[in-house]
Amino acid sequence: MPRVRFKNQGVDMTVEEGTTILDAARSAGLSIETPCNAIGLCRKCRIMLSRPEQIAGIVSLGPPFTETDGTHGDVLACQSAIYGDVELLLENYADKNRSLRILSKGHTFSYDIRPFISKRFDGTHTKIIAGDEIVGEEDGDTTMRLYGIVIDVGTTTLVSSLIDLVSGAEVAAESAINPQSAYAQDVLARINFASKNDGMYILHKAFIDSCQAMLSSMSKKASIDLEQIYEVVLSGNTTMLHLACGLDPSPLGRYPYVSRLRGDEYLPAVEFGVSPFGLIYLPPVISAFIGADITSGVLASQLAGLPGITLFIDIGTNGEIVLANDGTLSATSAAAGPAFEGMNIVCGMRASSGAIETFKIAESGDSSYSVIGGGDAVGICGSGILDVAGELVRVGIVDKNGRFAASADREPLKRALRKVEGKPAFFITDEVYFTQHDARQIQLAKGAIRAGIEALLSKLGVNANSTNRVLIAGSFGYHLSEESLLNIALLPRHFAGKINFIGNTSQSGGIAFLLNADFRKSMRDIVKRIDKVELSNEPGFEKLFVQSLRF
């Protein structure tokens, strides 16, 4: 049997002939990122052979992909079957994402502290009360030791807060890459992965392990015991909540798209290693593709109480849109895909060190940009990608239909326009560039969200120019600029000057659910009244989507 050595990970193993590098790594407990669900499209699973001649021991299962500089060679782990001895250099997944920029704060409002979990001392023991029910007791007076956790379960990231339920203060916080994204990047790919073999077990365990690590770190920071944590609020989209709770999400991936969770429900929190009396609370779920994270956002923004017409938009791999018209709410969801996260973009990457995060073209044609962490650019993250696309559209390098121009009118732009594999690209540095393929990916992603906005406005008879305010929620959305969103026509020009970026409201709304149990009933009632709009059922939506592809 072939011998496989992951040199910088200290792993030496033998495998059956025909085993892919990806399967070998995963069987050894090593993570390799495959956001395209291991079908060979994203090229994010490139792995280095320590010597290029070892390519003789590899058979490609798909379109050939090899790169060599005479010293090393790169192959795609998901498409490379092992038939001979190989030695591989694998970057540590945790190290790779250690500098990832994750937003943990979002807009909130003032409210009283009335948690679902409380304590009462009877002179000898402390009763632990969940709602109106006594669920346990502890020796002595522990009334001042009462904590809860909120976890924003994002498709790409996890954000957690440790909250003192007596004072309402956040005493510690942690964030991490969602480890499930190493296996599948977007919601549909995640559902597909979970429905095969032991995919469900892999994704659930990865989530729990990461959460346990975050909780352990936070408890040490705050000098408390994990058993002093009595409630865990999980705020995330419907698929992520299924995976977090160990529930098969496959019904979400096929018609009629049924969720096994309705939200506003409690589960035991034993897997998190907290108090034996601990509970998980799931906020109300709006629909199969509009989850508790949006419910939390509606709460944090107080959307149902705002006068006039307000659009709430969470931009990410799945774009959720809620339209509020004097307290009457309608909601829809549009599958934008992973392009906004830097996936399926040739030089795309997450928002970590080395990523271009802002980009601008001056009147002279010269380009300027900023890089997360400073130093040389190694790729482009989501906000930078939208900046680049928006600027290229603005100066005419990319036309309204997404095609690259054959030439440019200013010398710096002429120098930046080059060919990659025979197709036009715009070079920001000699190593980082934006391609025709990238422009198409951005068109598809932004077109899905723009079509969702237009369909919702049209269904309710609302004109874009009569909208009073636009709230952009989410960690990704917070780092975007109004100018880029308007330049690529993700948002109508009528929204100029009305856009507010309100941050991670999934987290801030989740904290509100934790600290005041009254919101659980009020938001349950609001969610019941929300009109859920299924875009695929809307007359003329396909035509609207095609129109929305234009920059």
The CATH number linked to 71 is 3.10.20.30
Same domain, residue pair 289 and 323? no
| Residues 468, 138: Cα–Cα separation, whole Å | 52
Looking at the fold, whether 121 and 235 belong to one and the same domain comes out as yes
Residue 109 domain flag: no
**Domain CATH code at residue 334:** 3.30.420.40
Q: CATH number of the domain at 259, please.
A: 3.30.420.480
Indicate whether 491 and 404 sit together in one domain: no
Q: Are residues 153 and 240 in the same domain?
A: yes
Q: How confident is the model over 236-290, as pLDDT tens digits?
A: 999 999 999 999 999 999 888 999 999 999 999 999 999 999 999 999 999 999 9
287 and 308: one domain? no
| Amino acid in the structure at residue 249 | P
pLDDT at 91: 66
Which of 258, 293, 328 is the endpoint of a domain? 293
For 47, the enclosing helix (H) or strand (E) is strand 46-49
What pTM was estimated for this model as a whole?
A: 0.87
**C-alpha 248 chain-centroid distance:** 20
Task: Compute the distance between CA of residue 541 and CA of residue 520 in angstroms, rounded to an integer.
Answer: 35
Spell out a b/e string for 419-436, using b for 16 or more CB atoms within 10 Å of the CB, else e: eeeeebbbbbeeebbbbb
CA distance linking residue 175 with residue 100, whole number of Å? 9
Same domain, 248 and 130: yes
Both 62 and 83 in one domain: the answer is yes
Return the residue matching tokens 């392990």. 209
- DSSP3 helix / strand / coil % (the chain, rounded to 5): 35, 30, 40
Neighbours of 4 (CB within 10 A): 23
Cross-sheet strand order for the sheet of 355-361 = 367-371, 355-361, 379-380
Same domain, 491 and 411: no
Domain presence at residue 493: yes
Q: How many domains does the chain have?
A: 4
Q: Are residues 269 and 371 in the same domain?
A: no
pLDDT at 36 (0 to 100): 67
Low-confidence stretches of the chain (pLDDT < 70) are 35-37, 41, 52-53, 56, 61-73, 91-104
- Choosing from 385, 401, 434, the residue where a domain stops is 434
Q: Are residues 331 and 448 in the same domain?
A: yes
**102 lies in a domain?**
no
- pLDDT tens by residue, 468-478: 999 999 988 88
Residue 64, pLDDT score: 53
Do 457 and 512 belong together in one domain? Answer: yes
Cα four-point dihedral sign 10, 16, 17, 18: negative
The answer to whether the beta carbons of residues 283 and 510 sit under 8 Å apart is yes
Q: Contact at 8 Å (CB) between 244 and 236?
A: yes
Compute CA distances 459 → 331, 456, 462, whole Å.
11, 5, 8
Tokens of residue 327, six digits: 């307290």
317, part of any domain: yes
Strand ranges (DSSP E) for 54-169?
Answer: 58-60, 66-68, 73-76, 80-82, 86-89, 117-121, 125-130, 133-139, 147-153, 157-164
Residue 103 is assigned to a structural domain of this protein: no
Q: In this structure, what token pair is assigned to residue 56?
A: 């003789």
Question: Of 434, 460, 482, which residue constitutes the final position of a domain?
Answer: 434
Per-residue DSSP letter, 523 = H
- pLDDT at position 159: 95
pLDDT of residue 101: 55
Rounded to an integer, what distance in angstroms lies between the CA atom of residue 488 and that of residue 549? 9
Residue 466 maps to a domain: yes
Please indicate, yes or no, if residue 106 is contained in any of the structural domains.
no
187 domain-assigned:
yes
Domain that holds residue 11: 3-93
pLDDT for the residue 388: 97
* Residues 357 and 426 reside in one and the same domain: yes
